[in-house]
């Protein structure tokens, strides 16, 4: 069996992955807070952990992997969006979840095994909080329940921070209901206009961190294999998850994986710089989801990913060529070199490089299976590429007829002339004993074909 190596944030080293139970490999990834469209940066962890999900399914079997990614559907940002828009919270979250699944599906992400919503697990959160209070790890004041950070001696181990350094570096006013500046909220009171649930501490709602701990425990058990997310979640979210879960008696996750952030043209994506856009913005500009995914996977997940227009153009050009080659092949088992690259801490950049080699060697079957494993292709050629090829079907027939004539007369001047005009118009020309395949590149200009 393939040995999977993963860089564990918890130990700060790359380790051989050994599942707790090979018959049920379990992974939890923090999902979105559903109040608006997913921006491009939100897509990176989805794509990264989708590749890991696919790889785990390949190694251990599709029926032996459980993947949980949650929806945070109770949050102050959602409340603010509701108040500003006059729309109900339920309407906003339902719409946004639909948007998210549609957009992530467009970039090739499989749906996880479970997609729990926080509001469906309030009783489990209340029970976990009650247990923490009973054991002295949490306390109630003014309707708030807070976790005593200093009671958990390992706090800060994941992010490499000490509690005292964190306090010294903080420049925020400490809430009067806190015993210690680092204590974090498990439960908070709700007013009449804010969503709330009955609890032993009055009507209120959960803090952000307790959601994932409760849902992971309920769906994956007290001890599971992998927890993932963006490195912006390492502190405080993941640090707090570990503290409350371990103090509640769980062993929690063995391996922690974190992807780096995304930039646009070398700069941090932000609305103030005018380089902020959503996945839907790109899709509506006719950027195919497969192209978005290709660009993302061309950089290792532990390195910052820089989205550029040049990379987008090159990705589309490359995929058009690959689809033209893969279209003629049946599926096969992904080759071991590709699996080995992915098993080396998800080396997707290396995997993309390997696909270039397969395409250069004309290995259509291995290319097709590799594209499918990476989520860059389904059972058929994507519609945007297939349609573009279909538009050139008359020219394929024209060139094929010219080849037949040339083979009879031994005069290939006409074939060379037609091929040259096609290439000048931005068409990739592939001729083999099986026929002619024409694929438009990003430089394709239909006007230049009028002379033909």
pTM above 0.85, yes or no: yes
**Model confidence pLDDT, tens digit, residues 120-150:** 999 999 999 999 999 999 999 999 999 999 9
- The residue-averaged pLDDT of 33-57 equals 97
Give 19-262's CATH code, choosing from 3.40.50.2300, 1.10.10.10, 3.40.50.620, 3.40.50.300: 3.40.50.620
Q: How confident is the model at residue 169 (pLDDT cuts 50, 70, 90)?
A: low
**Model confidence pLDDT, tens digit, residues 419-450:** 999 999 888 899 988 888 888 776 777 778 77
pLDDT of 264 > 60? The answer is: yes
Least confident residue range of 130-134, 269-273, 307-311: 269-273
* In the chain, where the domains are located: 19-262, 286-385, 391-449
Mean pLDDT over each residue of the chain, to the nearest integer: 93
Q: Which of 177, 178, 329, 345 is nearest to 258 (CA)?
A: 345
pLDDT of 172 > 60? The answer is: no
Q: How confident is the model at residue 390 (pLDDT cuts 50, 70, 90)?
A: low
């Amino acid at each position: 069996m393939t040995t999977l190596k993963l860089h564990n944030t918890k130990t700060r080293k790359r380790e051989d992955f050994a599942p707790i139970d090979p018959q049920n490999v379990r992974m939890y990834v923090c999902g979105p807070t559903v109040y608006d469209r997913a921006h491009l940066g939100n897509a990176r962890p989805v794509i990264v952990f989708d590749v890991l999900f696919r790889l785990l399914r390949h190694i251990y079997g599709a029926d032996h992997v459980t993947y949980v990614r949650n929806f945070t559907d109770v949050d102050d940002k959602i409340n603010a969006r509701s108040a500003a828009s006059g729309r109900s919270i339920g309407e906003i979250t339902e719409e946004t979840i639909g948007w998210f699944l549609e957009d992530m599906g467009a970039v090739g992400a499989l749906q996880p095994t479970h997609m729990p919503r926080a509001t469906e697990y309030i009783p489990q959160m209340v029970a976990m909080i009650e247990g923490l209070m009973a054991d002295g790890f949490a306390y109630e004041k003014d309707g708030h329940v807070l976790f005593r950070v200093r009671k958990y001696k390992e706090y800060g181990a994941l992010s490499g921070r000490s509690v005292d350094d964190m306090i010294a570096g903080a420049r925020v006013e400490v809430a009067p209901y806190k015993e210690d500046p680092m204590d974090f909220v498990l439960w908070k009171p709700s007013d009449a206009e804010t969503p709330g649930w009955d609890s032993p501490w009055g009507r209120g709602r959960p803090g952000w961190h307790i959601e994932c701990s409760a849902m992971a425990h309920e769906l994956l058990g007290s001890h599971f294999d992998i927890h993932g997310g963006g490195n912006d979640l390492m502190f405080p979210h993941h640090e707090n998850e570990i503290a409350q879960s371990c103090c509640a008696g769980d062993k929690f996750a063995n391996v922690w994986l974190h992807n780096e952030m995304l930039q646009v043209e070398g700069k941090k994506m932000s609305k103030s710089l005018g380089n902020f856009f959503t996945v839907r913005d790109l899709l509506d500009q006719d950027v195919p989801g497969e192209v978005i995914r290709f660009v993302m996977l061309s950089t290792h997940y532990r390195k910052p990913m820089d989205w550029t227009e040049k990379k987008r153009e090159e990705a589309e050009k490359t995929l058009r060529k690959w689809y033209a080659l893969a279209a003629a092949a049946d599926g096969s088992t992904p080759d071991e070199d590709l699996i080995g690259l992915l098993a080396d801490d998800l080396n997707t950049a290396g995997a993309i490089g390997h696909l270039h080699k397969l395409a250069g060697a004309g290995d259509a079957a291995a290319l097709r299976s590799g594209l499918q494993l990476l989520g860059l292709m389904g059972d058929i050629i994507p519609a945007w590429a297939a349609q573009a090829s279909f538009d050139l079907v008359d020219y394929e027939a024209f060139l094929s007829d010219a080849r037949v004539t040339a083979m009879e007369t031994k005069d290939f001047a006409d074939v060379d002339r037609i091929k040259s005009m096609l290439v000048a118009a931005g068409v990739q020309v592939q001729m083999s004993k099986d026929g002619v395949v024409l694929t438009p590149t990003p430089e394709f200009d239909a006007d230049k074909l009028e002379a033909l």
